[in-house]
A and B are shown apart, each in its own frame.
Chain A
Amino acid sequence: MIIAGSDSAALLAQDTRFDPRLQLQSSLYFGFGARFLRGLELAGGIGTTRATATSAAVGYSYPGWTGRTAWVRIGYLGPRISPIGFRLTAFGVLAGYDSTFLLSFFPILEFATTAHFPLTGNSYGTIGFPIGWEIRRDLGIRVGNTAVLPGAVYVGISAAVHLSVSPVTRGRTATAPSR
């Protein structure tokens, strides 16, 4: 199975010293996967992620960055690609801040509920609603004066096309009574 997709998300970025800001983030990804009889899907691939800088009007901004990603995923589509499923994805991101030579690494854990729909031939599409946690050391979410979570979180929407190399079985199939 060949997978190609994109994500768009709103990232809640917050340094422990500053107020949080929403940072728009989008990504493209490509990979390969396999689907098993019980509806499990395993996949992995590469991608790129782009986060745009927030406004500097308050005296500081959360800078933009571009990341190269590698990802692995486990998902559940149901035995015959049911309309609703879910997936858990782990990313490794090498991110470079805009206009600098700086490079940093951080992992991401993402959970998404997914909706599947048939496309032409051996392909089907997926719409996902991901929630992700960027486990970064340079950011941290706090409530009041209390640090509650290292890193940053995002919510978004994703879309992907899955192209299978074997026929896709959807829904129930009618069986003729045996003699």
Chain B
Amino acid sequence: MRAILTGMLIIVVGSLFSGCGALPPDLPRGFAIIYGIAEYGDINDLNYSDNDATDIYNLLTSPDQGFSPDDVIIRLNAEATKTQMDTDFAEIAARIASLPNPALTRFVFYFAGHGYGDGMARYYSFPDVWQDYFNNSQVSIEPQGAGMYTDYFFLHDISILGLASVDAVATELERAAESDDDLAIHLQMILSRQKTAVIDACHSGGFIGNGTAIDTVPPAYDGDGAGISIIDGLTAITIYADNRSGTADIGPETVIITAAGEQDFSYEYADGAEVENGIFTHYLLESPMAADSNYDGYVTVSEAYAFTVRSINALENPSLLGEDKFVPRLGTSGVDFVMFRVP
């Protein structure tokens, strides 16, 4: 009897300690590209976008999350250019492709910085030629996607001054901004079957494609309109009947979570605030510890997303005026990926 009890005690103690050390092999090897830009040239600097990227890097490379620092590229401020992004995606894509089974990996792309959506006339500080381009660029209207227009996030070296024509604006965007189509092409280079993109920028909801599902929250969120309407139902039926697919926007093979809708701003805490992050990223960083709604030890993208939505609606939107309210958006397919392990 004593031997049996001793054996059981050894087994129990061994089980308690078996979780220490290396991450159990229940999640595939992870790769990531993280960009955070707070310092810009011609446009206003942000407070904490670089902090956001650093904190996301620290979270992913923590022992609980299991990303190797060798598999994660982080670029901040002056390092974060369009040319560098092209290089980084090519490097990570090659590393993944060189593995014996590239599909059995996971990939995360994160961006924090300025974003903008075509067709929006809310950046009154931009020179007139930029307003002309964004307001009159008919070619950028897209037939599908949660984004009605081509949307961008700006890299560090974008320059808005001294451009003489809308053609010059288009060239500058191609040089120093990442459009939704550009990101879709970059993501297609990655052979991981689990791809997650996170964008903490204004108008970022326009990066989401809706090949199989629609977003029932309108592109401009004002605190209402989160229910399902008859129009939403008819739109969902139309999308199914049309069988929409294409290269525009991020396709359903990448789960994408954005800080705000296509016609919304996202915000960061004020300079000198106790929390030195963007609001969406702040709650995303809390989600490993607070978002496991089914207590299974994992936080999926939809669980993390739901936590950020609840938190922002409860704690941040009440202090914002109607049209300034924002809510994160999610684009997904029939599969939900694990984003974090609960520490």
Contacts and interface: CB of A to CB of B under 8 A. Distances in A.
Contacts of A17: 103, 193, 253, 335
B27 interface: yes
Contacts of A97: 213, 302, 332, 336
Interface residues of A, number: 31
Given A17-B103, A57-B298, A137-B243, A94 B193 contact: no
B194 A60 contact: yes
B143 to A, nearest CB: 17
Contact of A15 (B213, B228, B335): B335
A15 B333 contact: yes
Contact of A99 (B211, B253, B302): B302
B106 A59 contact: yes
Contacts of A103: 213-216, 228, 232-233, 236
Given A55-B296, A59-B194, A94-B233, A100 B28 contact: no
B294 interface: yes
B237 A105 contact: yes
A57 B296 contact: yes
21 contacts: A53-B294, A56-B338, A57-B296, A57-B297, A57-B298, A59-B194, A63-B334, A63-B336, A94-B236, A96-B216, A99-B302, A102-B332, A103-B216, A103-B228, A103-B236, A104-B214, A104-B236, A105-B236, A105-B237, A138-B213, A139-B334
The 6 closest A-B pairs by CB, nearest first: A99-B306, A138-B334, A104-B213, A105-B236, A102-B213, A63-B336
Interface of A: 13, 15, 17-18, 53, 55-63, 92, 94, 96-106, 136-139
